[in-house]
Copies of this chain bind each other. A is one copy, B any other.
Amino acid sequence: MADRTLKYWGWGYADDGLSADQTSALLNTFADGFDIRPTADGRRPEISDITLAEVRLTPPASLAKICTSEPFERILHSFGQSQPDSIRTFARDFAHAPDVVAYPESSENIAALYDWAGEAGAAIIPYGGGSSVVGGVTPDVGGNFAGTVTVNLARLNKVLEVDDVSRAARIEGGALGPDLEAQLKPHGLTLRHFPQSFEQSTLGGWIATRSGGHFATLYTHIDDLVENITTVTPAGSLQSRRLPGTGAGPSPDRFMMGAEGALGIITEAWVRLQGRPTFKATAGFRFTDFFDAARAVRAVSQAGLFPANVRIVDGVELQVNGAGDGSFTLMVVSFESADHPVDAWMARAEQCCLDHGGRVDVDWRDNPDANLQGAVGAWRTAFIRMPYNRENLTPRGIISDTFETATTWDNFENFYHAVKDTTATALREITGKPGAVSCRFSHAYPDGPAPYFAFHGEGRPDGMLEQWQEIKNAASDALIANGGTITHHHAVGRDHQKWYEQQRPALFGDVLSDAKRRLDPKGILNPGVVIRN
């Protein structure tokens, strides 16, 4: 895998993506179902199309071996995977490409990079897999820096130690999802943390951004899978004690989690593993009414069954993804275990669904391939493909983005209407057409869901960035005004900073700024993200 070339204009490797047929099916669905049609026929930028600014920084000789200013590397590290990143990529706007890309091989390398950047007045952008959809790795740091150095952790990618007894492993921060799972597999163990970005995101990135896996309940957040964290900061290393649980003072791990590279770089962590599941069951249910389906999710979540998945996908999202005709909401429920059959669990969850008006779409009984069947299977296939859609939509002038949040059940119905209506109104006013706004639940808690919205519309090729920003502003304002969170698992990055500051208690913002002055006294780490200097 290490030899495959990464794509600089979209998701994954250069030799991966939608086939011509898949692209055409996607465009037809948008056109036929939602009157969203291509307004451009852009081609992807060639390296030769891209003009890069002069390199402003020269690493000292001691760091030259791990640093590069090759144009391809600078281009590859110019963006993450957000909608504005994609728009600027296809507009050939690489003005803020990093000056240097560094590939440290040790904590000492990282400390030396900090020292150099501090002296040079350069900003450091910590970079794991580059999958941020919120501008978290986009080196757009404003004019107060002498240059930018993106620090790619790819060479710190090893599982260093496996403890089969406690089921835990010590893993370097730069290990990508597939890499760490491949190293754990011989031990019969798995982290089972599967964010949608799994293939192109790292353990350190997951911890830094408080990643959520694609499982819907219980141990899906990386927060709960961490035994300890080692962070290298400009002020020194900060390593917590490896423990299964402790009540000794405020948690240092929970403080470093969510700092998104603004306080340091996570070089390694002990994480909790599981046995590889051998018992699995999946069922699908159709609901005529979206809110009946939501009530079924609430019932399952409050029953204490802890399914691996309990998720609803509304008619519009099913239709956009070729998994439904828009007439029903799909609910998926799955259980898995490495230890015991899950029939008793599944039977009770099924009853919760039937009680709330669900009709069986895919039956779980004696059906090991349930996850591949019916609307369940069709949506699953689309889910895996989703990250590849954008590179085919942006160049055709189609705006297509998602945002995600959480709120308590008592607030959910009003919240849903307010956020969806605001987004739909903004989309219509700004693009001149209704477009499409959809909702699914990405995660569910006993006290509330994590709704995940998507919006799609015809953009104006010469104004897509501004159009997207206006819609994003309206949706984000609505999230905050109606009691949600600006992000549930996508993170803050540069794109959510304004609303995050509204959501965060002001005094806690001051505490974070003090911590930044303590750990990053020169303010070089990921400026503009999470913590104001």
- 8 A Cβ contacts from A385-417 to B: 406-411
The reply to whether A227 and B504 form a contact with Cβ atoms under 8 Å apart is no
CA distance A52 to B449 in the complex (A): 56
Given contacts A250-B259, A489-B247, A507-B235, contact A227 B408 (CB under 8 A): yes
Q: Please indicate the chain B residues that have their CB under 8 angstroms from the CB of A445 in the complex.
A: 244-245
The reply to whether B514 and A514 form a contact with Cβ atoms under 8 Å apart is yes
CA distance A304 to B243 in the complex (A): 19
Q: Which of A272, A305, A408 has the most CB of B within 10 A?
A: A408
Q: Please indicate the chain B residues that have their CB under 8 angstroms from the CB of A483 in the complex.
A: 241-242
A-B contact pairs, 24 of them (CB 8 A): A163-B410, A212-B247, A235-B507, A237-B507, A241-B485, A243-B407, A243-B448, A245-B448, A245-B488, A247-B258, A247-B489, A248-B258, A248-B485, A248-B491, A249-B530, A250-B254, A250-B257, A251-B254, A252-B508, A255-B511, A304-B338, A344-B344, A511-B515, A514-B514
The reply to whether B248 and A500 form a contact with Cβ atoms under 8 Å apart is yes
Of the candidate stretches A165-173, A368-376, A425-433, A462-470, the one touching chain B is A165-173
Is there a chain B Cβ closer than 8 Å to A62's Cβ?
no
Q: Which of A168, A212, A507 has the most CB of B within 10 A?
A: A507
Q: What are the 4 A-B residue pairs with the smallest beta carbon separation, nearest first?
A: A244-B448, A210-B247, A344-B344, A254-B254
CA distance A256 to B250 in the complex (A): 7
CA distance A338 to B446 in the complex (A): 13
Q: How far is the CB of A492 from chain B (nearest CB, A)?
A: 6
The reply to whether B166 and A447 form a contact with Cβ atoms under 8 Å apart is yes
Q: Please indicate the chain B residues that have their CB under 8 angstroms from the CB of A239 in the complex.
A: 505
CA distance A274 to B448 in the complex (A): 13
Is there a chain B Cβ closer than 8 Å to A471's Cβ?
no
The reply to whether B167 and A255 form a contact with Cβ atoms under 8 Å apart is no
Is there a chain B Cβ closer than 8 Å to A144's Cβ?
no
Q: Please indicate the chain B residues that have their CB under 8 angstroms from the CB of A39 in the complex.
A: none
The reply to whether A514 and B504 form a contact with Cβ atoms under 8 Å apart is no
The reply to whether B167 and A488 form a contact with Cβ atoms under 8 Å apart is no
- 8 A Cβ contacts from A481-533 to B: 483-492, 496, 500, 503-505, 507-508, 510-512, 514-515, 517-519, 530
Q: Please indicate the chain B residues that have their CB under 8 angstroms from the CB of A490 in the complex.
A: 247
Is there a chain B Cβ closer than 8 Å to A240's Cβ?
yes
Is there a chain B Cβ closer than 8 Å to A282's Cβ?
no
The reply to whether B500 and A511 form a contact with Cβ atoms under 8 Å apart is no
Range of interface residues on chain A? 35 or more
The reply to whether B165 and A409 form a contact with Cβ atoms under 8 Å apart is yes
Given contacts A250-B257, A487-B248, contact A511 B504 (CB under 8 A): no
The reply to whether B487 and A247 form a contact with Cβ atoms under 8 Å apart is yes
The reply to whether B304 and A406 form a contact with Cβ atoms under 8 Å apart is no
By beta carbon, the residue of chain B nearest A335 is B304
Given contacts A249-B260, A514-B517, 12 further A-B contacts (CB under 8 A): A166-B408, A233-B507, A243-B448, A244-B449, A245-B448, A248-B492, A248-B496, A249-B492, A252-B504, A252-B505, A255-B508, A272-B447
Given contacts A242-B483, A247-B487, contact A255 B252 (CB under 8 A): no
- 8 A Cβ contacts from A344-391 to B: 344-345, 348
Q: Please indicate the chain B residues that have their CB under 8 angstroms from the CB of A496 in the complex.
A: 248
Is there a chain B Cβ closer than 8 Å to A339's Cβ?
yes
CA distance A492 to B490 in the complex (A): 35
CA distance A221 to B248 in the complex (A): 13
The reply to whether A167 and B249 form a contact with Cβ atoms under 8 Å apart is no
CA distance A514 to B235 in the complex (A): 14
Convert A297-309 into 0s and 1s, putting 1 for each residue whose CB lies closer than 8 angstroms to a CB of B. Answer: 0100011111000
Q: Please indicate the chain B residues that have their CB under 8 angstroms from the CB of A168 in the complex.
A: 408, 447
Is there a chain B Cβ closer than 8 Å to A340's Cβ?
yes
Q: How far is the CB of A34 from chain B (nearest CB, A)?
A: 30
Partner of A247 from B209, B255, B507 at Cβ < 8 Å: B209
